[in-house]
Amino acid sequence: MRLEYFQMVDKVLALDLEARTLRTANTVPDKSPIFEGHFPGHPLLPGVLLFEIMAQSCGMLLLRLNNYDRMAFLASVDKGKLRTFVVPGQVIEVFAEMVHDGSGYARLKAEGRVEGKLVCNAEVTLKTMPFPAPELRGYLLETAERIGMPMGAPAELGSAAPASAGNLTHV
Amino acid sequence: MSSTFETVANIIAETCDIPRENITPESHAIDDLGIDSLDFLDIAFAIDKAFGIKLPLESWTQEVNEGKATTEQYFVLKNLCARIDELIAAKSA
């Protein structure tokens, strides 16, 4: 993850379009200016960034389900829990699950684990709307490719086709 | 409609911490109850879940913004409940 660029999601581990779930892996960098202040001599990933990692994983799932035809913006975090410290070098696996895909919004659940141990969880509401700028959609498609988001139809996902081989219908 | 209203009023009371007795069929969710768009997302989620429907919030908002409908048509609670009943009927038709 590149904290200074808010690129929190590193890699897609699994996508299930039917179950509407996504699993991501996200490595906390060893070094970042953030750790100089948070905290001197005791570097910790800030809790708000754990929420951001969960929100971005939820967002990547929602965008994929919507075939990248709409942008998702974080609207609220409910029942958020930060259960233990996360430190540089640790890998956070996030599991995101769609709860309800509403009109103009979606509610998802997410949880983060380090070596199997639950470190954070929350319910996330994302507002959806048409992309406000075309370059934003392009950036997110590049992000999907970077993190290895499978882009095939459900039956093809076993081959984990990369984003560049996508079947986008709204280009 | 009456049971729909009871469910919706209870959802609003619980979601927005508004005294239940202040919520009537004539209440305007925005103008009278002071519910903002973010809180209305929580209400919409609870309504969608309770009735197994999908409130078409986006098209309602678009109609209001384009002057094709008034907020009263969708956000006065008796009208909102009538819309919900229509959606339930359409689902089971």
pLDDT score of B93? 80
Give per-residue pLDDT as tens, A5-26. Answer: 999 999 999 999 999 999 999 9
In this predicted complex, what is the ipTM? 0.89
Are A104 and B58 inside 8 Å of each other by CB?
Answer: yes
pLDDT score of B92? 83
Q: What is the mean pLDDT of chain B?
A: 95
Break chain A down into helix, strand, coil percent, rounded to 5. 30, 35, 35
State the smallest CA–CA distance between residue A53 and chain B in angstroms. 22
Q: What is the mean pLDDT of chain A?
A: 91
Q: How far apart are CA A98 and CA A124, in angstroms?
A: 10
Q: Is the pLDDT of residue B81 over 80?
A: yes
SS3 A6: coil
Q: Is the pLDDT of residue A59 over 80?
A: yes
pLDDT score of A158? 47
- Among residues B71, B3, B81, B91, the alpha carbon closest in space to that of B43 is found at B81
Could you tell me if A107 lies within 8 Å of chain B, comparing CB atoms? yes
Residues 44-103 of A with CB under 8 A from B: 75-76, 100, 102-103
pLDDT score of A154? 62
Q: Is the pLDDT of residue B7 over 50?
A: yes
pLDDT score of A155? 53
A160 pLDDT tier (thresholds 50, 70, 90): very low
End-to-end CA, chain A:
28
Q: Is the pLDDT of residue B8 over 90?
A: yes
pLDDT score of A149? 97
Q: How far apart are CA A117 and CA A100, in angstroms?
A: 26
* Residues of B whose CB is below 8 A from A76: 38, 41-42
Give the nearest chain A residue to B47 (CA atoms).
Answer: A102
* Residues of B whose CB is below 8 A from A104: 57-58, 61
* Residues of A whose CB is below 8 A from B61: 104
Cross-chain CB nearest to A75 (options B41, B54, B55): B41
Residues B70, B30 contacting (CB under 8 angstroms): no
* Residues of B whose CB is below 8 A from A71: none
Give per-residue pLDDT as tens, B29-55. Answer: 999 999 999 999 999 999 999 999 999
CATH topology of domain B2-92: 1.10.1200
Q: Which residues of B touch A (CB under 8 A)?
A: 38, 41-42, 44-45, 48-49, 54-59, 61
Give the nearest chain A residue to B49 (CA atoms).
Answer: A100
pLDDT score of A165? 37
List the structure tokens of A140: 């997110």
A152 pLDDT tier (thresholds 50, 70, 90): confident
Could you tell me if A125 lies within 8 Å of chain B, comparing CB atoms? yes
Give the nearest chain A residue to B46 (CA atoms).
Answer: A100
Give per-residue pLDDT as tens, A80-125. Answer: 999 999 999 999 999 999 999 999 999 999 999 999 999 999 999 9
pLDDT score of A167? 35
Q: How far apart are CA A167 and CA A153, in angstroms?
A: 8
- Indicate if A38 belongs to the active site: yes
